[in-house]
């Protein structure tokens, strides 16, 4: 199954592939270093994006409403839970802004 990326992620994958002179293995490693908290496509994903843009001239459809898989550290999770316990009615925007973390919903913390 292919990983669906956001427009920004597709752009970064494509940039990384070109930056690494069309070497998918190097592009994958570069992407991992630049974006350690993002979902990482497999090596073939870099080649596919390049082929797709070359053949169709656009990126695949992006589901803008899909929640990205966010990787948070244990410390960030503890901070979010602590803030929720202190202020259960706090909004996800407020928690995100205060802790500088991406929260799409609080379902994972309940």
pTM across the whole model: 0.52
pLDDT by residue (tens digit) across 40-59?
888 888 888 888 887 777 77
pLDDT by residue (tens digit) across 65-83?
455 556 677 888 888 888 8
pLDDT at residue 85 is higher than 80: yes
How far apart (Å, rounded) are the C-alpha atoms in residues 13 and 30?
A: 10
Tokens coding 71: 């990787």
Tokens coding 105: 């919903």
**Any idea where the domains of the chain sit in the sequence?**
7-56, 74-109
> Can you state the angle between helices 43-56 and 24-34, rounded to 10 degrees?
110
Provide the 10 A C-beta neighbour count for residue 39: 14
* Confidence band of 1 (pLDDT split at 50, 70, 90): very low
How far apart (Å, rounded) are the C-alpha atoms in residues 79 and 1?
A: 33
């Amino acid at each position: 199954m292919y990983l669906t990326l956001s427009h920004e992620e597709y752009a970064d994958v494509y940039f990384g592939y070109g930056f690494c002179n069309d070497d998918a293995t190097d592009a994958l490693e570069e992407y991992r270093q630049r974006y350690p908290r993002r979902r990482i496509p497999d090596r073939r994903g870099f080649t596919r994006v390049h082929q797709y843009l070359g053949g169709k001239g656009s990126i695949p459809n992006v589901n803008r409403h899909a929640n990205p898989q966010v990787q948070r550290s244990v410390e960030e999770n503890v901070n979010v839970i602590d803030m929720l316990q202190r202020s259960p009615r706090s909004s996800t925007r407020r928690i995100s802004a205060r802790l500088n973390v991406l929260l799409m919903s609080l379902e994972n913390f309940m």
